Amino acid sequence: MKSAICGVVLLLAGVFAGQAQAQGCGGSYVVQRGDSLSLIADSQYKDAGKWTAIHSANMDQIGQDPNNIRAGMRLRLRCIDGSPTGLDGGTVAPEATLAAAAPLVVAPGNAATRRKINILTGGDFWPFTDKAMPNGGMLAEVVQAAMEAAAPEQGFAIHWVDDWAAHHEPLLSNALLDIGFPWFKPDCESDPETYRCANLLFSESMFEVLMLLFVDKTRPMAFTSDADIQGKTLCRPAGYSTYIFDQHGRNWLKNGVITLKTPTSPGDCLRLLVEGEVDGVVLNEFLGRGKIKELGLEDRVVVAQGQPISVDGNHMVVHKSHPDGPALLAVFEKGLAEIRANGTYQKIIDAHMSRVWAGF
């Protein structure tokens, strides 16, 4: 009798363990009446500031405005540092030790490489392309998987050139390399003459990133409309794209709505912010949060309430002068569609994003 009871206890324990494992980490959350992304982040991640993680994971449903949610909407919540648990569709969290994986080793090319589709990227664009990250970063792994799925007859090779300024001119413009990633796409309908619009063709987006306004907690401000920005001094590092301030008809720079300071680095912008020299800093979500942690400013610098400054897709590009440009992008997009359909894409994104968010 005793052994039978033990057997039942073990069986029930196995059932409950199986259920917990099936639920896992992350999963599907159904929006309730009165919910906001901040409230959901607070209840599921115990951190209201992680609303942007929910926003970026559900861009296809929510769009740019984070307030565009409604009761009954089913949102994907990524696994971040072991949370949330108990949701349908959860998965086993990636091992934290993966963050310390060996740097990517790039095989040298040879004369035969010239016949392949030669793909250009660069380092130090964390977490998208960085040889120190697992598999070269999130989008490097996506491109590798997509091209393997497309399996072009001539083969392909990925080349790393860390001088990003050389990518468009002369490497892609002279077809010294064929296609390159990842690049943001401006609002080409509003400004067709900007360099990227005039000279490049873009694939569909591989991943959307939020461009956020970071502000000083002691001088809080929100961004809900252009009126909130009127007369403000913003900071964006020298060399970073500024088209986001004029796209979609906002014309903040063209019409003098804002004053823009452009020091050398993201860290310089954050220092100007805490010194009171600027009202806000505009950086992509991951770069901004990473620099805040690096500089020990977590208790001082926060994401402005409201909405992102913009939502930018990361694209593969080819120069319009390349005779095979459209065909090369079609090969990549074929592979990208295949890994989206078979689940490989989502596994790559979720694994990288879980590690990235756990580090903030």
pLDDT-above-70 percentage for the chain: 88
**Residues 326 and 194 grouped into a single domain:** yes
Do strands 222-223 and 74-77 pair parallel, antiparallel, or not at all (unpaired)? unpaired
pLDDT confidence of residue 13: 41
Q: Tell me the pTM.
A: 0.82
- Which pLDDT score is estimated for 74? 96
Domain that holds residue 17: 2-93
As a whole number of angstroms, the distance between CA 347 and CA 318 comes to 27
What are the residues facing 239 on neighbouring strands? none
User: What is the rounded (10 degree) CA torsion for 346, 351, 355, 356?
Assistant: -30
Residues 306, 296, single domain; the answer is: yes
- 202 and 220 both lie in a single domain: no
Give residue 102's pLDDT. Answer: 52
Q: What is the CATH number of the domain that holds 187?
A: 3.40.190.10
- Residue 345 sits in the same domain as residue 258: no
Tokens of 199: 């000279």
- Model confidence over 318-332: pLDDT tens digits? 999 999 999 999 999
Say whether both 172 and 321 belong to one domain.
yes
For 159, phi and psi rounded to 5 degrees?
Answer: -115, 140
- Same-domain status, 61 and 46: yes
> How many other C-beta atoms can be found within 10 angstroms of the C-beta atom of residue 275?
9
Q: Are residues 179 and 232 in the same domain?
A: no
Do both 250 and 126 map to the same domain? Answer: no
Max mean pLDDT range (17-21, 45-49, 162-166, 322-326): 322-326
CATH number of the domain enclosing 29: 3.10.350.10
For residue range 98-118, list pLDDT tens digits in order: 444 455 555 666 656 678 999
Mean pLDDT over 304-331 rounds to 95
- Which of 25-39, 63-77, 78-92 bottoms out in mean pLDDT, i.e. has the lowest? 78-92
> Region 81-106: what's the mean pLDDT?
66
Shared-domain flag, residues 281 and 329: no
Rounded CA separation 205/316 (Å): 8
My answer on whether 19 and 80 are in the same domain is yes
Which of 59, 77, 93 is a domain's end point? 93
Query: Would you say residue 155 has pLDDT above 50?
Result: yes
> 63-67, 109-113, 196-200, 259-263 — which is least confidently predicted?
109-113
| Residue whose tokens read 């059932």 | 15
The confidence band for 89, taking pLDDT boundaries of 50, 70 and 90, is confident
Regarding whether 104 and 197 lie in a shared domain, the answer is: yes
Both 196 and 335 in one domain: the answer is yes
